[in-house]
Amino acid sequence: MIRKETPIEEELLFEAINHAGVSLPVMIGEGAWHMAWKVTKKDEELVLRIPKKVAYGKPVPFNQDALMAEYSATKWYYESVNQMVPGSAPALFKFHVTSKLTYTLESFGGKSLPLREMSLVEALRVGRQIGAIYRKMESLTPEMEGFGRLVWTENKGLHGIRNEEFQAFFKETSLKHIHNHQKLVNAYPMFQNNRVEHALQVVTTNRNRRIVSARLVNQDVSPENILWGGDSVCLIDPYPIVYEPREMAGNFMNLYKTLFRMLANTQRYKKHQFEKCKDILKTIATGFLDGYSDGNLAVSQEVRGEQYLQLIETAYQHHCLLIRTMTSEDIIRYGHRKEIEKRLAILGDEIKQFAETYFF
């Protein structure tokens, strides 16, 4: 059920409608950070989004640079996706950022994936299309300073937060994966396994041999951010970064094969009922790998290697949650300590199973 606006939200909505010159607002949902309304302008259907004042149980202070970075990156990503695969992102994206009024306006692309009503054939098709989009985006060389998380400043505009040599940085992340796994082994004997360590060594050695370069990629393609009209996908509300594309492909695989299913009962994801569509999520991942690799077994193995590293990092992230004081946002995203402990044990088993099958 979509909740009604609060008086503050109603006031902001009224101001945004007037400023954007749109009409007929109908609330269509809310994400973690924004409220969204379907609106009309000159008979064109659009989506108006306004930042929430409270997210993950905490007030969200106005931060112009952060909002400019988020919205400028979204605009860049939409334009880039449509350049490579026309129609795969909203054609129009505008934004307005001030301390008194902030909103975005973009083309209406339809409804989110109907996960519980989809067939496995449709799920495979969706995954293949997204995988193909990810792969085609690698053809674009970002004309931007730096890499990593995108930030915005008045003098530089949009740019990557990191400036070191990318190949060296990439090799450093391989060492980080090895060190994080060792921390898991030291804390939980159940993570000690010869097959796991051998697979980790093979994956990190092979990835370090690759010649890599940073590309514009999307770190957040959750089901709520995929619109599906029955024939083609439209990607919305991205988290664009300039990073290594195989790693982000592995991140997608880990999300759809493992993490969404494991987090199904958390406050953040409960409304999606992921536990009822596990097979659909896994089939989307299967299609993604097929569409991304396009029959190239070497590419497929590289993505699976990155998926393996992401699975280990998921376990390490759960370990980090357990050794610190958890915030309200942590609990909303991951649940309480007992749930995290139980999930960590399951992740240990899944890492072993993955290592057993990686070489086949």
Q: Is residue 301 part of a domain?
A: yes
Do residues 66 and 131 both lie within one domain? no
pLDDT in tens, 275-333: 999 999 999 999 999 999 999 999 999 999 999 999 999 999 999 999 999 999 999 99
Does residue 2 form part of some domain? no
Residue 57, burial from CB neighbour count under 10 angstroms (0-12, 13-18, 19+): exposed
HSE (side-chain half, CA atoms, 13 Å) at 83: 12
- Most confident residue range from 110-114, 188-192, 288-292: 288-292
Question: What's the total number of domains in the chain?
Answer: 2
Kindly state whether residues 128 and 90 are assigned to the same domain: no
The two three-digit tokens of residue 30, written as one number: 């809310």
**Structure tokens given for 295:** 């029959």
Give domain status of residue 115, yes or no: no
More confident residue, 4 or 25: 25
Shared domain check, 325 and 249: yes
Enclosing domain of residue 70: 7-107
pLDDT of residue 10: 86
pLDDT band at 1 (very low <50, low <70, confident <90, very high): very low
Alpha-carbon distance of 101 to 325, in angstroms, equals 35
- What is d(CA 318, CA 118) in angstroms, rounded to the nearest whole number? 31
Q: Are residues 172 and 275 in the same domain?
A: yes
**Is the residue at 327 inside a domain?**
yes
Least-confidence region, from 58-62, 148-152, 241-245, 341-345: 58-62
> 220 vs 4, which has greater pLDDT?
220
Q: What is the pLDDT of residue 4?
A: 60
Looking at the fold, whether 75 and 201 belong to one and the same domain comes out as no
Q: What is the mean pLDDT of residues 95-105?
A: 97
What is this structure's pTM?
A: 0.94
In this structure, are 75 and 190 located in the same domain? no
**CATH code of residue 100:** 3.30.200.20
Amino acid at position 118, single letter: M
Question: What is the rounded average pLDDT of the residues 180-184?
Answer: 98
Question: Per DSSP, what are the bridge partners of residue 63?
Answer: none
Among 254, 237, 210, which Cα is nearest to 351's?
254
In the predicted model, what is the mean pLDDT of residues 343-355? 96
Residue 82 placed within a domain:
yes
Q: Look at residue 223 and tell me if it is in a domain.
A: no
d(CA 140, CA 161): 20
Q: How high does pLDDT run on average in the chain?
A: 94
Closest CA to 205 of 239, 177, 224: 177
Q: For residue 277, give the 3-state DSSP assignment.
A: coil
**Structure confidence at residue 31 (pLDDT):** 83
Same domain for 97 and 206, yes or no, is no
Q: Do 286 and 310 belong to one domain? A: yes
Residues 6+ away with beta carbon under 8 Å from 262: 343, 346, 347
